[in-house]
């Protein structure tokens, strides 16, 4: 009986140590990127001007982690952020706000369609001289929008190009900015 009393505290101490080791291991675990998310390129601040001018803004995205370790939390949040960006078709991501457990960013698609003649695909009016869909229709033309994804590009006979280097994207792909009354 006396022996059992001495072993009981030792067993509970061992259980506590094992439990603490398990919690530490699980809280420090980091997530791995999927293949699509690993292709999302992180943007530097210096690249944002070109990106905003030549790429299509898709959405604001967030990434979060429940890890207790700050370095693991940042890594897992960034992984989640890149996974979320890849799910909506982003090729580039700018991480702009957040802290370890929650990160926020802007997702962009920096890709374009090259027409069969070798030039970048642009929106145009076929059969009339117009620069917007409504004017094209009024003049009896057919509006041909720019291909914004691989399927619509290939349907037009083009080749879909993903660009790693934003500065090398053709200027004609810059989205048209709506004019304000200022």
Go through the domains of the chain in sequence order and give each one's CATH number.
35-109 (3.30.110.70), 111-173 (no CATH)
Could you give phi then psi for residue 128, rounded to 5 degrees? -155, 165
For residue 34, the model assigns a pLDDT of 87
143 beta partners = 125
Q: Is residue 160 scored above 70 in pLDDT?
A: yes
Q: What is the pLDDT of residues 2-37, one digit of tens each?
A: 555 555 566 666 666 665 555 555 444 556 888 888
Whole-number average pLDDT of the chain: 76
- The Cα 176–Cα 66 span in angstroms is 41
Q: What is the pLDDT of residues 169-182, one digit of tens each?
A: 666 555 544 333 43
Q: From the CB of residue 133, how many other CB atoms can be counted at a distance below 10 Å?
A: 15
SS3 assignment, position 52: helix
For residue 93, the model assigns a pLDDT of 93
Residue with tokens 């009024």: 138
Model-wide pTM > 0.75? no
Percentage with pLDDT > 70 across the chain:
71
DSSP label at 42? E
For residue 182, the model assigns a pLDDT of 39
């Amino acid at each position: 009986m006396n022996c059992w009393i001495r072993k009981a505290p030792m067993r509970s101490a061992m259980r506590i140590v094992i439990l603490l080791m398990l919690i530490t291991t699980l809280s420090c675990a980091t997530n791995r990127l999927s293949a699509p998310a690993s292709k999302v390129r992180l943007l530097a601040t210096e690249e944002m001007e070109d990106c905003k001018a030549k790429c299509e803004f898709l959405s604001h995205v967030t990434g979060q982690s429940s890890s207790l370790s700050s370095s693991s939390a940042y890594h897992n949040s960034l992984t989640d952020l890149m996974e979320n960006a890849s799910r909506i078709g982003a090729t580039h991501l700018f991480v702009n706000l957040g802290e370890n457990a929650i990160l926020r960013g802007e997702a962009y698609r920096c890709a374009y369609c090259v027409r069969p003649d070798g030039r970048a695909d642009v929106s145009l009016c076929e059969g009339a001289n117009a620069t917007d869909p409504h004017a094209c229709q009024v003049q009896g033309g057919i509006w041909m929008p720019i291909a914004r994804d691989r399927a619509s590009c290939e349907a037009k006979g083009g080749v879909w190009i993903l660009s790693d280097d934003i500065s090398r994207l053709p200027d004609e792909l810059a989205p048209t900015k709506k004019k304000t009354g200022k």
